[in-house]
Chains A and B, each alone.
Chain A
């Protein structure tokens, strides 16, 4: 079977007239930071605490639009533990999001000594759960989003003492989407009774939902991989059915990134290259 796949891939590569060359950037990083959670369904008070996050990102160069398009996918998993101001009640939170999209390299990037700048649209699915340990019939609030995000990415390479470095900044924010929200005083118990829950999903845009993900990283390329540190700032605000949620987080990340150079489906030894 593997042999067939290799032959097929080879035929496809030959039929295109030249070998298929794909450059892929992989990043895995772990972050820790502070977070604040305010969710009026659970409490009128803001909870503060710590957040642990994991990011798995992939950027892949494509041949679209003369090689100007890079596809991005990112999986993000976060867990948070927070306390109320009196420190006698806890809210735990967990979020999982998957982002997939295409980024277009803007023409200004072609000039020398200029940052490479991409802009694009990504699709995102986000599942989150907030759990207050002390509440009785309203212990949980669920966050569900399907978004189209606008994304801006800038990367700049430079050297210090002959050591190559790369700094990167990415801002992404949802423009339109669909989200879930209970009604103002609706219990999840009642939702389970209803045969049709037509009022639970809402159109979401800047009039009721704002989210900003600011992401600033620095990479130190080594022989086969790069060390990675980053700062991420998240802002999430949702205002639907008289309910309000605001979550902010500031985290520092450390991880390893790697560039995989694939020619005709064969991956060569990792080597530090640039996707962007």
Chain B
């Protein structure tokens, strides 16, 4: 009897570790259910964005037909994903990429690449993803960084900031930078800090519940041991500053001699994870929320220190209002 109980206990213990794989068929219904469940169990902003995901399921489930085409299914699934209004949420098939871009489409661009050419000219230098030049009329150092996926090297940064050592100020233009690697964001930001500074927090999901989150882990910027600029820096921002660029703008706000200028950034503070549907479509979603140092959400963007819009008159005169205002601030101070 005693042995039977022991065997029964051992059986139950072993049973608890059995891995159950939920199987899906490659049908419109199963692809819909798989996508809904991936988001339900992993997406991190339901509460913050006040989205009733169960209601979303009930609404969109009615639109799923057994014999609908891939294009029709993609349209319904993409529309469902857009309910969370998140630029980090994408559905990718061989024929289309579903996306939510309202975070910049509904706002003024505050950036014209042909205006940048007026300042950079054709004799600018390129170090990895950084285009830079000392502006001839004002001796202000100007750096254009358009993509946090483009490499930044410590040696390049040392060289650039050495070149700029006699400039009265530096403009760092990250407008239209849609993000990339957080490591480049941290590397670049570390040039503008004089002491280790807490710049935010990160959390992760600990379970399938919409509010199952870990304790926040603080994020710090440690000052670079390389060449650090000593002069004032103006960072130019607009609505297309997203993801890793949003992370950079959040960090740089805590640097002592940095002013952010332009428009509110686009946001995108959720570290995105990836998954997939039975039909092979790829899905990306925000999985780990990040916050600023005051533990406030930065998913909807960050207000600049100095709000500034591109003026039509300046554009007609071939001037970039934000660069002109930044030069004015740096020369004045």
Interfacial residues, chain A to chain B (CB-CB below 8 A)? 38, 43-46, 84-89, 132, 134-139, 183-187, 189-190, 193-194, 205-210, 237-239, 241-242, 244-246
Contact = CB atoms under 8 A, between A and B. Distances in A.
B275 interface: yes
Nearest to A136: B274
19 contacts: A38-B21, A86-B276, A132-B274, A134-B282, A135-B274, A135-B275, A183-B206, A184-B204, A184-B207, A187-B204, A187-B287, A206-B13, A207-B13, A207-B16, A237-B17, A238-B17, A242-B206, A242-B207, A246-B19
A238 to B, nearest CB: 8
A193 B219 CA distance: 7
B38 interface: yes
Contacts of A208: 16-17
Of residues B13, B44, B274, which shows the largest number of chain A Cβ atoms within 10 Å of its Cβ?
B274
A206 B13 CA distance: 6
B70 to A, nearest CB: 12
B85 interface: no
Given A84-B280, A87-B280, A89-B282, A185 B17 contact: no
A205 B16 CA distance: 11
A38 B282 CA distance: 17
Contacts of B219: 193
Given A183-B206, A184-B212, A242-B207, A237 B276 contact: no
Contacts of A190: 202, 204, 217, 271, 288
Nearest to A205: B13
Contacts of A85: 26, 278, 280
B88 to A, nearest CB: 10
Interface string B225-237: 0000000000000
B274 A137 contact: yes
B162 interface: no
The residue in B19, B26, B202, B284 that gathers the most chain A C-beta atoms within 10 A of its C-beta is B19
B19 A44 contact: no
B27 to A, nearest CB: 13
Contacts of A184: 204-208, 212
Contacts of A135: 273-275
Interface residues of B, number: 41
B207 to A, nearest CB: 5
Contacts of B22: 44
A183 to B, nearest CB: 6
A138 B273 contact: yes
Nearest to B37: A44
B248 to A, nearest CB: 15
A46 B20 CA distance: 11
A132 B273 CA distance: 12
A244 B21 CA distance: 9
A43 B204 contact: no
A242 B208 contact: yes
B42 interface: yes
B274 A185 contact: no
Interface in B11-67: 13-14, 16-22, 24, 26, 34, 37-38, 42, 44
Nearest to B25: A85
Nearest to B281: A86
Given A206-B13, A244-B20, A185 B272 contact: no
A135 B42 CA distance: 14
B14 A206 contact: yes
B206 A185 contact: yes
Contact of A137 (B17, B272, B276): B272
B271 A189 contact: yes
Nearest to A246: B19
A237 B19 contact: yes
Contacts of A237: 17-19
Given A183-B206, A239-B19, A88 B280 contact: yes
Top 7 A-B residue pairs of the complex, sorted by shortest distance between their CB atoms: A86-B280, A185-B205, A135-B274, A246-B19, A186-B204, A88-B280, A185-B204
